Chains A and B, each alone.
Chain A
Amino acid sequence: MPTPSQKQNLLDAVSQIRAAEQLLLEASRSTSDPAKLIQLNTEYTHLDSFLSQILHAQALTDDADFGDATAALKSQISALNVEAESIKKIVDDVATAGKIVGFITKAIQVVGAI
Chain B
Amino acid sequence: MTSRTVYIAAVFLLAGCSGLTQMQDTISKFDQGAHSVATGQMAFFRQVQIADCNNQFYSAAFNFSIKQTEKLDLTGTCEPTILDNNQIKTRQALMDSLTLYVDKVQTLATGDSNKTLDTNSQNLAGQLNALAKSHGFGSSLSVAQGVEAAVMAITEMALDQRKFNDIKSAASSMNPYLLKVIDSLKAENNNFAIGMASKMEQIEIPLHTAVAVARDSAIKACQDECDQSGKKNGSKLNSSECIQNCNYSGARSFLDVITAREIIRSINPIGASPVSVAEGNADPKLDPRNVAKQLNASLDALANANDALANAGTGGVIAAVNDLIARAQHANNILTAISK
Contact with A48, one of B191, B202, B209 (Cβ below 8 angstroms):
B202
Q: Is the CB of B209 within 8 A of A62?
A: no
Q: Tell me the residues in window 233-287 of chain B with beta carbons closer than 8 Å to chain A beta carbons.
A: none
Across the interface, name the chain B residue whose C-beta is closest to A28: B205
Interface size on B, residues (CB 8 A): 39
Interface string of A20-34 (1 = CB under 8 A from B): 011001001100111
Binding-face segment, A53-61, A77-85, A91-99, A104-112: A53-61
Q: Provide the bound-state CA to CA distance between A93 and B144, in Å.
A: 46
A45 CB–B CB distance under 8 Å: yes
Query: A40 to chain B: which residues have CB within 8 Å?
Result: 205
A41 CB–B CB distance under 8 Å: yes
Interface size on A, residues (CB 8 A): 37
Q: Provide the bound-state CA to CA distance between A29 and B213, in Å.
A: 15
Interface string of B84-106 (1 = CB under 8 A from A): 10010010000000000000000
B141 CB–A CB distance under 8 Å: yes
Binding-face segment, B13-21, B26-34, B110-118, B192-200: B192-200
10 tightest CB-CB pairs across the interface, nearest first? A61-B138, A32-B212, A52-B81, A37-B209, A41-B205, A1-B144, A63-B139, A55-B195, A1-B141, A28-B205
| CB pairs A–B below 8 angstroms (16 shown) | A1-B138, A1-B144, A11-B191, A14-B191, A25-B201, A25-B205, A28-B204, A32-B216, A33-B212, A34-B216, A40-B205, A52-B82, A55-B192, A56-B83, A61-B90, A61-B137
